[in-house]
């Protein structure tokens, strides 16, 4: 399997993740399919949010993967791969990014890329994964003050196809480590974590607290040292106050 073995370049679509899900349902999707769109009319983000993107400016894509008899235990490792691929791709374009747990990509404390992974599971095994990526490349103005792009950071225009090829190559590289070298992925992911070993302000339930991120545990939960005790948090149990 390699990402890009089947490739769809769409002018306009509601959401590349929806397009991928429809292809899978109709049995038309190959393992490794990549769906890239110039424009989304209903781009979806995490927590039921919308992902807005100016047409023809950014990377909007979905990678489809059908793991072969792989346990759901590996879901975290796949998640790590995509984040690592994004950070390394940006690094190749001289942009220094970090992973805000679990999978936002930040540059200068602002979000440059977001990930929406949609899985289909059965009997403890992963049937299919759709890795949706929105990477801000050439957009200069955003409705949200906490968003940024490669062009804002580097003050130049990037070739979208070069960026998408680089991301695909990186993802192909890192996904090959899932089966046998998950500790390496965890180490790579952790070392690129935003705020690692720094005091940050968090919201936990209704409380605002200072804590220091020390890593992630075997289940992919964020480990934070709060007043000398290391506590683990699932997604939605903790938020960053940036
Ligand atoms: C987030 O909220 O951070 C996740 C954003 C994910 C957006 C991408 S754009 C391509 C793919 N298709 C979608 O509808 N969403 C993802």
Output the CA 113–ligand 1 centroid distance in Å: 9
**What pLDDT, on a 0 to 100 scale, did the predictor assign at position 179?**
83
Asked, colleague to colleague, whether 6-191 and 199-240 share their fold, the answer is no
By most ligand atoms within 8 Å of CB, the mutation choice from 19, 43, 139 for ligand 1 is 43
Domain boundaries, the chain: 6-191, 199-240
- Give mean pLDDT in consecutive 10-residue pieces for the chain, a chain of 242 residues: 97 98 97 98 94 98 96 94 98 98 96 98 97 98 94 98 98 93 92 96 94 95 96 94 86
User: 6-191 — its CATH code?
Assistant: 3.30.930.10
The Cα 241–Cα 124 span in angstroms is 35
Nearest-atom number in ligand 1 for the CA of 17 is 12
Residues facing 99 on adjacent strands: 105, 193
Q: Is 58 in the pocket of ligand 1 (CB under 6 A)?
A: no
Check pocket membership of 132 for ligand 1, CB cut-off 6 A.
yes
Any idea which architecture 199-240 has in CATH?
Roll (2.30)
Torsion sign (Cα): 187, 107, 212, 48: negative
pLDDT of residue 242: 79
Strands (E) in the chain, as ranges, are: 6-13, 33-40, 59-65, 98-100, 104-107, 110-122, 125-135, 199-204, 207-216, 222-226, 229-233, 238-240
């Amino acid at each position: 399997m390699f990402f890009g073995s089947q490739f769809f370049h769409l002018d306009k679509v509601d959401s590349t993740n929806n397009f991928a899900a429809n292809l899978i349902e109709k049995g038309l999707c190959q393992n490794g399919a990549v769906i890239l769109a110039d424009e989304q009319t209903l781009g979806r983000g995490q927590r039921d949010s919308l992902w807005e993107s100016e047409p023809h400016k950014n990377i909007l894509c979905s990678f489809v993967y059908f793991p072969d008899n792989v346990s759901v235990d590996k879901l975290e490792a796949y998640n790590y791969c995509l984040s690592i691929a994004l950070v390394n791709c940006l690094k190749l374009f001289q942009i220094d990014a970090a992973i805000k747990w679990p999978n936002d990509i930040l540059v200068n404390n602002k979000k440059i890329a977001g990930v929406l992974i949609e899985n289909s599971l059965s009997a403890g095994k992963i049937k299919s994964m759709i890795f949706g990526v929105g990477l801000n490349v050439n957009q200069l103005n955003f409705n949200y003050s906490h968003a940024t792009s490669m062009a804002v950071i580097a003050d130049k225009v990037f070739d979208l196809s070069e960026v998408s090829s680089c991301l695909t190559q990186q993802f192909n590289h890192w996904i090959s480590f899932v089966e046998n070298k998950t500790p390496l992925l965890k180490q790579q992911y952790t070392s690129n974590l935003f705020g690692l070993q720094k005091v940050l302000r968090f919201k936990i339930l209704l409380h605002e607290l200072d804590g220091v991120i020390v890593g992630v545990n075997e289940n992919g939960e964020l480990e934070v040292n709060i007043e000398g005790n290391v506590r683990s948090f699932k997604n939605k149990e903790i938020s960053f106050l940036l």
